Each structure stands twice: as structure tokens, then as C-alpha cells.
Structure 1
């Protein structure tokens, strides 16, 4: 399947999955439900990007999955960008100070909230990182940057993953923790599974190296 068709398949699946997630959150305001749904699916796709490498190391017969990794990464970034635009337009109304200040109590003075500010700052850095990876995720960038520089840049997906985890962790567990969100369980499951796949891939690589000696 060529790259265009991969993008179409993943794009359609992205919006369909986001829609299904929104349907599970009927008690939420529509804007908030869509905002979080796009963020959830973006995280899920980034998780797939992170596990494809270890899976292929363990099961080389699945090497065809590698061809999907770039498209998954691009769509993870697109959904993260949509998530950001919804916040900027529908919530903070392009007043960027609202990304760092909240009103306490409701309706009164806006005050700096360290945890809230830090989580949003991390989110902004992650989105900028996404944009860099998306812009350079093409053959032209490989030619311009050279294989070595391009591979170095694209290999930093683990840094992006860590930023996304920290951002998501705060809003799931620390910002208004009393609010119900069924994503709390799957979020931990995703982290554990990715960690296990990474460890398994590393162990498999060591095993193969020992066998060759």
C-alpha cells in the first residue's frame, strides 16, 4: 500500500475512533469531549509508533509494520495539533496567559497555578516537537538533511513520548482528580505495555547477539 493510502486509512480510523470515544462521554460538554478524544487517540497512535520497533525485532515476519510507522506518527501529530487548536480557540480564546493561570475560586481572580502551568508548557513543547517531526517526515527532508541528521532527529520520538506522558499524567490524575475519566486505566496499561515491549525488544537483541558469537 502506498503512503497516500496509508494516510487515508489511518486518518479515517483516527476520526472514527475519536467519534466512538466521544460517544462514551455524553455527560461532558461536546467541546471538551472532542478535545480529549483527539488527545487520547493521538496518544494511542504514538504508543503504536513506540512498539512497532520492538515487535519487529522479536517477530521479523511483521517487518511490514515498519512502513506504517511514519504515517502513524504524522497522524498522532495531526490529532495533537487539533487538540491544541480546540483548546486555543474554544477555551483560552487565543489568550495564551490562560494556559498558565486559572481562576480560584471559580469566577474570581486569575492566579498562577504551578502544576497547571508546567503541564501546559510541556504540552506546548510536545506540539512544537510534533511539528518538527511532521515537517521532516518525508523523503525531501532526508535529501536536505542527509540520512545521519534525519535519522538522529526522527530517533528522538522517545523524548516526544516522555513529554506527552508527563502532560497527560497531570491532566488525568492531578488536575481536578475528582472528575471521572475512564482513560485513567488504559493510560497506565499503555505505559506498562510499551515498557514491556521495549524491554523485550532489548532482551531479544542481546539474545541474538549472544547466539551469533
Structure 2
């Protein structure tokens, strides 16, 4: 179950990273514009894989006990739920929030939504992809870097081999999007100056 959960989650993150990079490509080279058409499909597949990741966790791990998803366990002596994993609960709450935003992006990633909402509203709504990406990064970072540092767990396992790759991926997306932003900003500033 854990391998399937991880595989779906890792694939969702990778597809989302590609989605975030594709929007910046035309600002580096013109041929990158033809790849933008893939952005919608990759984003859709990313959210579908995130939903699969969540369903595997809910069915296979927390067994429909949503308190467990947020770091609570039932205490047999006190006969109530008590929080035993603070960071785990917060990271999963962030993941659920990200999934909610991803679902909104999923259901509006079609031509009918563009026509219904209007191009400008639809574009603003799709800008939530940056928030979605940020929440996903925080969610994944907790499980890759912090989850196993809890002193109550005893000996922590060896560091996950994906830690370095994930950091590199996040940094790469950040650099590409930042450079594209500054190129757009510089072009608009230059355009304003020429109009004066």
C-alpha cells in the first residue's frame, strides 16, 4: 500500500512541476510555446494522481478514520482521540487544502469553463496553480525531511534518496519561473519607457 501511495504521490509532484515549468518556457525560447498545450493535460493528470494518492491513504492506511489522517489516535484509557503526531496532522491538512485547490483547477481545466467564466476570470482562477504548487511543496517537504525526526520514533531510517532530487526540482522550478517573471517585468518596463 505504501509503495502505491508513494508512487502516485511522487508522480503527481513530478507532473505538477512540469506543469509549472511549461508556462515559463516561451520566455526562454519561441519553440517552447508549442509545449504550452501540454500544460493543461499534465495538470489534470497530476491532480488525478494526487486524488489516487489520497484515496490509497484513506482506504489503506487511515481506514476511513479521518481523525488519524490529522494526527489523532483513539486512546483506549481516556476513550477519546488524542493528538500524537502534530506535524503529521498539519502536513496532511496542508495536503488536503492543496488537493481542494487542485480539484478546483481540475474541474475548470476545460474549454467550457473558459466560456462560462470568461477568459479573464478563468485565467485568474488558474493562477491558483502557484498556490497549489506551494502547498504541495510544503506537504512533501514535511514527509521527506521532518516526519522521521520525531524523537519518539526511536532510530530514524536512512535519509530518503529523493530528498536531494526533490530539493533540486523545487529549486529548478523556482529559478525558471523567477527568470521568466523578471523577463516579463523587464519587457513591460521597457515597453512603458518607449511609450513615453
- Scaled to the shorter chain, the TM-score interval is 0.7 to 0.9
| C-alpha deviation, 1:144, in angstroms | 1.5
Q: How far apart in 1 are the matches of 2:91 and 2:127?
A: 24
Q: How far apart in 1 are the matches of 2:189 and 2:89?
A: 48
Structure possessing the higher radius of gyration over alpha carbons:
2
Q: Structure 1-normalised TM-score?
A: 0.78
Counterpart for residue 119 of structure 1:
91
Counterpart for residue 58 of structure 2:
88
Does residue 196 of structure 1 match 2:175? yes
Q: For residues 140 and 210 of structure 1, do their structure 2 counterparts lie closer, same or farther at Cα, with a shift above 3 Å needed?
A: closer
| C-alpha deviation, 1:108, in angstroms | 9.7
Does residue 187 of structure 1 match 2:142? no
| C-alpha deviation, 1:42, in angstroms | 0.6
Aligned residue runs from structure 1 range 10-89, under 5 A? 31-89=1-59
Structure 1 unpaired stretches of 5+: 1-30
Q: How many equivalent pairs are there? A: 181
| C-alpha deviation, 1:118, in angstroms | 0.7
Q: For residues 108 and 63 of structure 1, do their structure 2 counterparts lie closer, same or farther at Cα, with a shift above 3 Å needed?
A: farther
The SS at the match of 2:82 is: strand
Counterpart for residue 134 of structure 1:
106
Counterpart for residue 162 of structure 1:
134
| C-alpha deviation, 1:199, in angstroms | 1.9
Counterpart for residue 9 of structure 1:
none
Q: Is the Cα contact below 8 Å between 2:20 and 2:173 reproduced in 1?
A: yes
Structure 2 unpaired stretches of 5+: 150-155
Q: How far apart in 1 are the matches of 2:144 and 2:72?
A: 17
| C-alpha deviation, 1:101, in angstroms | 2.5
The SS at the match of 1:111 is: strand
Q: How far apart in 2 are the matches of 1:71 and 1:53?
A: 13
Q: Is the Cα contact below 8 Å between 2:47 and 2:99 reproduced in 1?
A: yes
Q: How far apart in 2 are the matches of 1:164 and 1:125?
A: 9
Does residue 151 of structure 1 match 2:120? no
